[in-house]
Structure 1
Amino acid sequence: MPAFAEIYERIKLATNSRTQVELAEVLDIRQSSISDAKRRNSVPGDWFMKLFEKFGLNPDWLKQGIGPMYLRTEQGYTPQDAPASLAENAAHYGDTLARGVVASVYHMRCDYCDEQPRPSLELAGKISLPHSFMKDGLSVMRMRGTNMIPTVMSDAHLGVDTMDRDVISGRVYALFAPNEGVILRRIFLNSSQDGYVLRSDSADFPETTLAPDLLNKRLVGRVVWIFQEL
């Protein structure tokens, strides 16, 4: 079974619990019981039963992050005791957009230098996504800055396909930049076809150029989806 911390984050997400005190109230247990479970690095089995009975939460989703977040019977299952933010009508949970997964989100700020190995990105938090939005090689990041406004707003969540590194002019890519970390730019082949032009969607940022070998070194992957408030 996954470590306590992973399951604990999914439980908090699904119940809108921000603290141990709030979660203890949801589970009808003492806060010290949560601290004990954390110390043992093990989630008690009765938690899963309580969360299913109270909210209809799928134990497999809580344990592994796979399958639908909620379960249903042939007649349909609607959590009756769930808070308004969780209560919903019975629906078909088998399609790919209904199946959820909790993904790690990373900050874009890091110390990058062309002469050094690529840095590791710092964990920014977690996000629940449709299962179909995740695949091998996809990294979720939180947008930093305003260089791609109005297409990408600050604090938006980005899905970056790190396996898609074949540049097609006009698409948006994530790449490392010295003194900045990971940035987003539209990339175009230049007119002489011997280098690339990097453009921001905001007129406040000047375009830059990169030689093919340097672009290949800095390229992280293509931005394939964006979650943001309008």
Structure 2
Amino acid sequence: MSTFDEVFERIKMATNTRTQVELAEVLDIRQSSISDAKRRNSVPSDWYMKLFEKFGLNPDWLKMGSGPMYLRTEQGYQPVDGPAAGQVFEDPAKYGDPDAKSTVVTVYAMHDDQAAEEELPHKSLSKLSVPQSFAGAAMQVFRVDATSMEPLIAKGAFVCLDTQQKSIISGELYGVFIPYEGIAIRRVFLDAQNQRFILRSENPALPEQYLPLGKHHSSIVGRVSWVLQKL
């Protein structure tokens, strides 16, 4: 049986990683787990399973350096010898990138008939898988159910609001709670002369709405962070 260091070197070569940080991202574990395994001089069995599931790597080759390097390729399940030194079929390190990992978020309704007039509607509609970098504790995803922001944002689009971004930057898009309507996406402009904010939709047929300066902190839900829609 090979030592931890020997197996570790084969794993790094096969995954095209150079550091414990990069390998931890590929294996979706904490870096400290690698240090613990090195101290015990033992590679956890779940590492082998993850490497097989992600890249088709042969556990026996990883453990002992014998047999085919790959048991599964893009062509299916078949033993394949490893490529020349320093080469792999693809760059596995990219799977550690936050944009390559997905997470499931809750999608909320922008309007909820069950909510009180002074409450934000938070009726759960569905789930959506998004890149990890697109999610976070402060991010809330809503399903657009109106045409007021067309053609920029279509009805049916998914809109993410960053609820930590409530400071107004004139001309940017925000989710705004409007009594009797729920949450609406609007382009917000400062009208300092009249001590108010102007709320504009992209649809020119709809009238402007206004928000008093002192009330914007409680009415602004968050700044639009991203939009997912069909073109």
Gap change, CA 1:119 and 1:199, over 3 Å in 2: closer
Check if 1:105 corresponds to 2:107: yes
| Alignment: residue pair count | 157
Note if 1:72 corresponds to 2:48: no
Partner in structure 2 of residue 93 of structure 1: 95
Report 1:1-230 matches (<5 A). Answer: 56=53, 71-72=54-55, 78=73, 92-111=94-113, 116=118, 118-192=119-193, 194-230=195-231
CA contact (8 A) 2:110 2:182 kept: yes
Q: Tell me, yes or no, if the aligned pair for 2:120 and 2:183 is still in contact at 8 Å.
A: no
Query: TM-score, normalised on structure 2?
Result: 0.60
Task: Provide the C-alpha distance between the structure 2 equivalents of 1:99 and 1:78, rounded to a whole number of angstroms.
Answer: 21
* 1:171–1:113 Cα change, 3 Å: farther
- In 1, Cα distance between the equivalents of 2:157 and 2:191? 29
Distance 2:116 2:199 in 1: 18
Instruction: Measure, in 2, the Cα distance between the counterparts of 1:148 and 1:93.
Output: 35
Gaps of at least 5 residues in structure 2 are 1-45, 58-68, 77-88
The change in CA–CA distance for 1:175 and 1:80 in structure 2 (over 3 A counts) is: farther
Q: Cα deviation per residue 1:22-72 (whole Å; 9 max; x = unaligned)?
A: xxxxxxxxxxxxxxxxxxxxxxxxxxx9xx89x94xxxxxxxxxxxxxx22
Q: Secondary structure at the match of 1:189?
A: strand
Q: Which has the higher strand share?
A: 2
Letter in 2 for 1:156: A
For the Cα contact (< 8 Å) 2:56–2:73, is it kept in 1?
Answer: no
**Aligned amino acid, residue 125 of structure 1:** S
Larger radius of gyration: 2
Q: What TM-score do the two structures reach when normalised by structure 1?
A: 0.60
CA-atom RMSD, angstroms? 2.9
Judged with a 3 Å threshold, the aligned counterparts in structure 2 of structure 1 residues 98 and 128 are, in CA distance, closer, same or farther, namely: same
2:138 and 2:229 map into 1 onto residues whose CA distance is 22
Mapped to 1, the partners of 2:120 and 2:191 lie a distance apart of 29
Supply the distance in 2 between the matched residues of 1:181 and 1:78 (Cα, whole angstroms): 50
Contact 2:110 2:121 in 1 (8 A): no
> Percent identity over the alignment?
32
Contact 1:108 1:142 in 2 (8 A): yes
